[in-house]
Amino acid sequence: MINKTFKAICECGTAEGLIVFGAIRVQCPVWVLHLKMLSKDNDPFFAIDKAILKYIKMQPDCNIAYLSAIIGMDYDFVEWRKKELSSAIMIRFNELKKEYEVTTAAEKKYLSGKGERPDVEIYADLPVDGISLELLDQEFYNSRTYYNDKRSDAIVAQPIINETDPKVVKALKRLERMSPDDKHNHHLERESHDYSLEGFDLKTIDNIYIVLCYNKEEGKCVRKIFFNNKFISNIDSLKNSIDYYYLSFYNGVCLSSDGYVPKDGNPFVNLREDEICRVIKERYQMDDVTIDDFFYTPAGNPAYGTPLTIKVSDDFLDRAGEAERLMNDAVNKQLFLDIKESPVSKWKTGFFIIHVANNIEDRVKRYELIKKYKKEHGKLDIEFLNKTYPDTLTWRKELVKLGLYSDLEEIDIEQHIKYAK
């Protein structure tokens, strides 16, 4: 069964008129900046505490019953807020005068200026691109994605020296110029300002895919970036290497170049004919595969979009040891190959789609009918097979070729063996 993410990638491509034939998971470095900043005090009790302080300043005897009646709040609640203000040294009780006094700190925080909430120091973390220190695509902030501690081997982050690094200073200045809505969209408080860097950590986003597609309208292959179930704009850390990602076969395994080294022409696939033959041999358990058994067009076949197509013929099916697997691929008109981390690794890092051209439509259609009948009835019967195939010899040969021995045995038992009680 196709991976859920891989299915979403293909659906996303189809929606944009693209034929997806591969996807490679990549690790993109990000710097998580630990920021200190000023912002308006968002204390939910600010307005209430301010009203209590203004009242105490006018009426130092502080009649809580009278105050709670004026502001329309519960007596116990107002009394609790008065105690909190006292604990925070915003008010103090003068034993000589037997009355409350508003402290200088309270005057500064609640009663000075134009009545606005004061600025307070707050802290927040902001992930930025690991190379440019620019903000990431908005989708990364919308999704609140998980950042991994694992380092990317293929893409090396631009180092940060310290908080005075020119790149950091430039990044902080960009934040100052952001609109309140932009700040909010990046999980910063709308009224935050005066940013400074307290620290930084290098992380990795590892659920990004470079998608290899064929653009039917333009008649050429293109690379797209997929994240969180949609295509996104380019990522700075991939700008210099995205064209270096391509697929190849080695020892029967599909591998990615991982963007390490550029190749002439920036190919999307780089497949040797002998390796293509090996992959087909191993999938269908064949003794012999020739270049006549497939089409290979590295730039993408205009008819199918995919660079590689297997040509299924009667002769091809007869040579296949795994005939039923081949039939299933012919029904689906494609097969998904897992891209592995290395020739000996089981870790999957993407997929490659090979188109399967069905040139034996009648045989494939009958196989589909067999699958459907078995699903609906639980088993095959001779009446169904005689209706589906021209004669008994044909369907018996086909069941043998497909490896459906248990079905054939069950039919023979019902036809020729009688049980006596």
Q: What is the pLDDT of residues 257-268, one digit of tens each?
A: 988 877 888 899
Tens-place pLDDT, residues 360-401:
999 999 999 999 999 999 999 999 999 999 999 999 999 999
> pLDDT category, 144, cuts 50, 70, 90?
confident
Residue 370: predicted pLDDT:
94
> pLDDT category, 332, cuts 50, 70, 90?
very high
How far is residue 359's CA from residue 372's CA, in Å, rounded to a whole number? 21
Going by their DSSP bridges, the two strands 220-227 and 230-232 should be labelled as antiparallel
Tens-place pLDDT, residues 180-207:
999 999 999 999 999 999 999 999 988 8
> pLDDT category, 1, cuts 50, 70, 90?
low
> pLDDT category, 2, cuts 50, 70, 90?
confident
Which whole number is the average pLDDT over 329-335? 95
The residue ranking higher by pLDDT, 32 or 346, is: 32
**Residue whose C-alpha is closest to residue 49's, from 84, 20, 25, 16:** 84
Residue 326: predicted pLDDT:
96
Give this prediction's pTM: 0.81
Residue 418: predicted pLDDT:
59
Residue 152: predicted pLDDT:
66
> pLDDT category, 115, cuts 50, 70, 90?
low
Residue 270: predicted pLDDT:
94
Residue 419: predicted pLDDT:
56
Burial environment of residue 367 by CB neighbours within 10 A (0 to 12, 13 to 18, 19 or more): buried
Contacts of 269 (CB under 8 A, 6+ apart): 22, 212, 246, 247, 248, 298, 307, 308, 352
Which whole number is the average pLDDT over 309-329? 95
List the alpha helices (DSSP H) in 107-231: 138-143, 166-177, 180-185
How far is residue 75's CA from residue 64's CA, in Å, rounded to a whole number? 7
Locate the domains of the chain by residue range: 4-24+211-361, 26-39+120-206, 43-116, 365-416
- Tokens 């005939």 locate to 323
Residue 53 has pLDDT above 70, yes or no: yes
Share of the chain above pLDDT 90, in %: 61
Query: Which of 43-52, 122-131, 265-274, 385-394 comes out lowest in average pLDDT?
Result: 43-52
Looking at residue 145, its amino acid is T
Contacts of 248 (CB under 8 A, 6+ apart): 254, 255, 257, 269, 270, 271, 272, 275
What's the chain's Rg over C-alpha atoms? 35
What mean pLDDT is reported for the chain? 90
Residue 271 has pLDDT above 70, yes or no: yes
Contacts of 198 (CB under 8 A, 6+ apart): 34, 35, 36, 123, 163
How far is residue 189's CA from residue 42's CA, in Å, rounded to a whole number? 10
Residue 38: predicted pLDDT:
93
Residue 155: predicted pLDDT:
78
Residue 187: predicted pLDDT:
93
Burial environment of residue 185 by CB neighbours within 10 A (0 to 12, 13 to 18, 19 or more): middle
CATH 1.10.10.10 fits 43-116, yes or no: yes
Contacts of 20 (CB under 8 A, 6+ apart): 9, 10, 12, 13, 14, 211, 212, 213, 353
Q: Which residues of 122-144 are buried (b: 16+ CB within 10 A; e: fewer)?
A: bebebbbbbbbbebbbeebbeee
Contacts of 131 (CB under 8 A, 6+ apart): 29, 155, 157, 158, 236, 237
> pLDDT category, 118, cuts 50, 70, 90?
confident
**Residue whose C-alpha is closest to residue 308's, from 351, 349, 276:** 276
How far is residue 308's CA from residue 269's CA, in Å, rounded to a whole number? 9
CB atoms inside a 10 Å sphere around CB 94: 10
How far is residue 399's CA from residue 406's CA, in Å, rounded to a whole number? 10
